[in-house]
Amino acid sequence: MPGTTPAERDALNDLLQRTGARDEKAFASLYKATSARLFGVCMRMVGDRAEADDILQEAFVTVWRRAASFDPALASAFTWLVTVVRNKAIDRLRQRPAAPAADIDWEAIVDTEPGPATRAEAGEAHGRLRACLDELEAQQRRSIREAFFGGATYNELADRAKVPLGTMKSWIRRGLLQLRACLGT
């Protein structure tokens, strides 16, 4: 996993900063180091290979154009890249009609535990987030994770979980406030 140990994080930050200085070689290395992870995120969010491919391409076009605005004091390169990719994917999802709820098995997909390998390689920031997520009620945790990975709106999530909209909003909002209290300290 790129960007999770301090050394990898520094290397990735360096590549993104050099990309901002129009270093094409650094841009190629950055793509090599992160594209599979980011394409996985695209696939998970839109579920279609051709569309995920489009999003990945658009995202890296944006990365090249905006890399000069990256500031390692404000965010890690990995966070910055994930944000670019997710924003592209979410914008796409908002443009298409809501996914049919029947396609999604809420119980099956939303509370999967990452395997031990993922846990070990995922790094400190992920460890802290996991610990805080683990303190939430199962429904809050599931809803937040599904929102993150599925890019779904409150309405879509309520449909998928087969609960009223107000219930879904309250799960997520209470969960987010608890998360902030846990992560912000």
Partner 1 sequence: MNTTFENDKDNLRYAEYVLGLLDADARAAVAAEVAAQPEAGAAVARWQAWLAPLAVEVPAVEPPAHAWPAIQQRLGLAGAARPRLWDSLALWRWIGVGASAVAACLVVLTATRPGAPPAPAPAAQAPAVVMVSTLAGDNGQAAWTATMDVQRAELTLVPATPQPLAAGRDTELWLIPQGGAPVAVGVFPSADGKRFSLPRALVDRLGPTAVLAVSVEPAGGSPTGQPTGPVVAKGSIRAA
Nearer to partner 1, 162 or 181 (CB): 181
**What's the burial of 21, exposed, middle or buried (CB within 10 Å: 0-12/13-18/19+)?**
exposed
Query: Measured between alpha carbons, how far is residue 83 from residues 42, 89, 122, 130, 148 in Å?
Result: 11, 10, 17, 19, 11
Residue 23 interacts with partner 1 (CB under 8 A): yes or no:
no
Residue 35 interacts with partner 1 (CB under 8 A): yes or no:
yes
55 three-state secondary structure: helix
Residue 90 interacts with partner 1 (CB under 8 A): yes or no:
yes
Nearer to partner 1, 4 or 139 (CB): 4
Stretch of 10-18, 22-30, 101-109, 134-142 lying at the interface with partner 1 (CB under 8 A):
22-30
Q: How far is the C-alpha of 92 from the C-alpha of 99, rounded, in Å?
A: 12
Give least dist CB 14 to partner 1, A: 19
Nearer to partner 1, 48 or 137 (CB): 48
Q: How far is the C-alpha of 153 from the C-alpha of 94, rounded, in Å?
A: 9
Among 16, 30, 70, 78, binds partner 1 (CB under 8 A): 78
Binding mask 36-75 for partner 1 (x = CB under 8 A): xx-xxx-xx----xx-xxx-xx--xx--xx--------xx
Task: Answer whether 122's CB lies under 8 Å from 156's CB.
Answer: no
Residue 170 interacts with partner 1 (CB under 8 A): yes or no:
no
